[in-house]
Amino acid sequence: MPDSPPTTARQPAGPASEDTAPGALLQAEHLSRHYASHTALSGFSLTLHRGEVVGLLGPNGAGKSTALKLLAGVLPPSSGRARLAGHDLIDAGQRYRRQLGYLPERPPLYPDMRVHDYLRFCARLRGADGGRTAVGRALTECGLEAMADRRLDQLSQGYRQRVGIAQAVVHRPPLIILDEPTVGLDPRQLQGIRQLIRRLARAHGILLSSHLLPEIQALADRVIILQRGRICHQGPARGEPHARRFNARFRRDPHAGALEGLPGVAAARAVAPEHWQLRLTPDADPDRVISAVAAAGWGLEAWQPAGDSLEQVFLRATQGPGGEA
Ligand SMILES: Nc1ncnc2c1ncn2[C@@H]1O[C@H](COP(=O)(O)OP(=O)(O)OP(=O)(O)O)[C@@H](O)[C@H]1O
């Protein structure tokens, strides 16, 4: 395949640095994609490091698949740029694409091919050695050894999804892009694919999309929430901790109201036996409050900032004008 730029007309990307951010595996800046007058994605920027799992969340039609297709180099951006492992998406498209493995929303599996042959074919397509070692390693990594001689149309949905992931890793790319990798799986298959993705994250950067919050919460370090083609939130996948809300665990439950009598505590509520959530007054010094709570004699065993659930973050980020909520 020639290493030629995409054919779609590019508009100026706006300010963009020549080099990838220090240590970054992937850096995308201001990526946009228009379909006629419709903007599917706008101003999408992302920096991803090796060993990091970034989850892309958003309501239906938010632009998740579009963002992944642009980053995978299978759909040309209308504007913007991306660099992966030192290769530019536009100027060195083929070298860029060889640095990644991509599981599209609907993976193109050829029904009458055997798993082993399919993986060899995919490796060669990407200029990698499709020999026994490469294919054997991908089969092992994805738990597919027993299925190597099966035809693709004889596989369960869970194994088909594993083959989809195996074709994305067979050429050992530093970046793996997975579009809805757990869609349509039963709970046991889901568990298997989650474990597989966690294993792969040790050696690869991973970018994955889902419209299921628990999936992203279980797998990602960081989350980007898209709404109507724009990033409306990014942050840790487990929600941002609050500066003034804390969870406390005691050996003995405090008497009702006793916690609220301490200086700096605005409100306290029991969330489970011996587990309380405290809200501090705006002027309180958290260190002083911990000391007061510890000295009160209920056997303080744990104290940590309370975080919003990802669900709360998602609902807040996607509500308001243009949101579905
Ligand atoms: N080939 C296309 N032609 C025209 N519009 C498109 C095309 N592909 C996507 N779109 C539109 O771009 C927007 C973003 O679509 P995209 O598939 O990226 O969203 P998504 O977040 O992945 O959605 P879902 O969760 O439903 O898969 C949608 O409004 C969609 O209708």
Domains and CATH numbers, the chain: 24-236 (3.40.50.300), 245-310 (3.30.70)
Q: Is the CB of 56 under 6 A from ligand 1?
A: no
User: Which tens digit of pLDDT belongs to each residue from 65-79?
Assistant: 999 999 999 999 999
DSSP string for 173-200? -SEEEEESTTTT--HHHHHHHHHHHHHH
35, 37, 56: residue to mutate for ligand 1 pocket, most atoms within 8 A of CB: 35
Separation CA 267–CA 205 (nearest Å): 42
Between the CA of residue 179 and those of 67, 117, 146, 205, what are the distances in Å?
Answer: 10, 23, 25, 14
Nearest to 83 by CA among 311, 320, 92: 92
Nearest to 71 by CA among 28, 105, 32, 108: 28
Q: Is the CB of 227 under 6 A from ligand 1?
A: no
User: Which tens digit of pLDDT belongs to each residue from 204-257?
Assistant: 899 999 888 888 888 898 999 999 999 998 888 766 566 788 889 999 999 878
Separation CA 39–CA 33 (nearest Å): 6
Which pTM was predicted?
0.77
Q: State the pLDDT at residue 236.
A: 81
Strands 38-49 and 53-57: unpaired
Query: In this structure, what token pair is assigned to residue 187?
Result: 């709970």
Report the range out of 63-67, 90-94, 263-267, 269-273 with the highest average pLDDT.
63-67
